[in-house]
C-alpha cells in the first residue's frame, strides 16, 4: 500500500511544526511563578492537541491496512483451525499408541525378568541339592549357569519414522495453593513463585482507596496531570 503524497506532506508538516513546538521545552520543566504555571498549562494543551491530530492522521492511514489484515486473517482462520485440530487428533493417537506399546514392552520385560528369576532359583535349588549330595562339580556348574541367566531387554515395536520424534516436557501444577503459600512463608520455597496479581490489586485500590485493608498491601495515591487538547499552535504570548 502506497501513502498518498498529500498525506505524506501532512505528516512532514506536522513533524516540522512539532519540532518547532518542542525544541524550546527543556528536559526538566521548573515552574516558579503563576505565569510559568499558566504558560506550562497552555503548552501542555497545545502538545495534547497536536498529539491528537497526529494520532487521528495515523489512524486514518493505518485503519484500511488493519481492516485488510483482518479480512486476510479471517480467510485463513478456518483452514488453519481445521489443520490444528487434525494435528492435535493425530498427535493424541500417536501418543496413545506409543503409551500402549510401552505398556506392552514393559509387561513383556517384567514377564521375562520373572521367568529368568524363577529359572535362576530352580538352578540354584538344584545346585544346593547337588552340593548336599556331595556332587561339588555339578553344584558349581549349576550355580555358574544360574548366575549367567539375564533377562533380555525388550525393544518396543513402535516404528521409527524420519522427522517424527517424541520428547518429554515438564510443567508445574499447583495442587494445594495454601500449602505453597505456607511453604513460602516458612522460607522453604522462594517467594518469587507467588507473584501478586497487580491488575486485581490496583483495581481494588482504585475502588477502596484508603479502605483497602489487605495484609501486606497498601493503597498508594498518585497525582496525575490531565489536560485537554488545544488547536492553538501559537506559543504563549510574552508577558509584560
Q: What angle do CA 50, 55, 60 make, to 5 degrees?
A: 130
Q: Count CA within 13 A, CB hemisphere, residue 33.
A: 4
- Cite the DSSP H helix spans in 24-176: 34-132, 136-147
Q: Does the reported pTM lie above 0.85?
A: no
User: What pLDDT, on a 0 to 100 scale, did the predictor assign at position 7?
Assistant: 78
Asked whether the predicted pLDDT for residue 2 surpasses 60, the reply is yes
CA-to-CA distance for 174 and 12, rounded, in angstroms? 55
Tens-digit pLDDT profile for residues 50-91? 889 889 988 988 998 999 999 999 999 999 999 999 999 999
The enclosing H or E element of 184 equals helix 177-185
Report, as an integer, the average pLDDT of 123-131. 92
Decide if 49 contacts 229 (C-beta within 8 A).
yes
Model pLDDT for residues 131-158, shown as the tens digit of each residue: 999 889 999 999 999 999 988 898 888 8
Domain ranges of the chain: 174-212
Spatial separation of the C-alpha atoms in residues 127 and 121, rounded to whole Å: 10
Nine-digit cell at 135? 556332587
Amino acid at each position: 500500500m502506497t501513502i498518498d503524497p498529500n498525506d505524506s506532506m501532512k505528516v512532514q508538516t506536522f513533524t516540522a511544526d512539532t519540532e518547532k513546538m518542542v525544541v524550546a521545552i527543556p528536559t526538566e520543566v521548573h515552574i516558579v511563578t503563576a505565569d510559568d504555571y499558566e504558560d506550562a498549562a497552555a503548552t501542555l494543551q497545545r502538545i495534547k492537541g497536536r498529539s491528537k491530530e497526529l494520532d487521528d492522521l495515523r489512524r486514518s492511514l493505518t485503519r484500511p491496512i488493519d481492516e485488510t489484515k483482518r479480512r486476510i486473517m479471517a480467510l485463513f482462520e478456518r483452514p488453519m483451525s481445521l489443520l490444528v485440530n487434525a494435528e492435535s487428533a493425530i498427535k493424541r493417537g500417536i501418543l496413545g499408541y506409543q503409551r500402549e506399546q510401552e505398556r506392552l514392552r514393559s509387561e513383556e520385560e517384567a514377564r521375562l525378568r520373572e521367568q529368568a528369576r524363577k529359572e535362576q532359583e530352580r538352578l540354584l535349588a538344584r545346585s544346593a541339592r547337588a552340593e548336599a549330595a556331595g556332587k561339588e562339580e555339578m553344584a558349581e556348574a549349576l550355580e555358574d549357569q544360574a548366575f549367567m541367566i539375564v533377562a533380555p531387554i525388550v525393544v518396543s515395536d513402535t516404528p521409527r519414522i524420519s522427522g517424527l520424534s517424541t520428547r518429554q516436557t515438564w510443567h508445574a501444577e499447583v495442587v494445594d495453593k495454601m500449602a505453597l503459600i505456607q511453604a513460602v512463608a516458612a522460607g522453604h520455597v522462594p517467594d518469587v513463585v507467588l507473584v501478586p496479581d497487580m491488575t486485581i490489586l490496583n483495581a481494588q485500590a482504585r475502588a477502596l482507596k484508603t479502605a483497602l485493608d489487605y495484609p501486606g498491601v497498601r493503597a498508594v495515591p498518585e497525582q496525575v496531570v490531565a489536560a485537554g487538547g488545544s488547536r492553538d499552535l501559537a506559543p504563549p504570548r510574552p508577558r509584560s
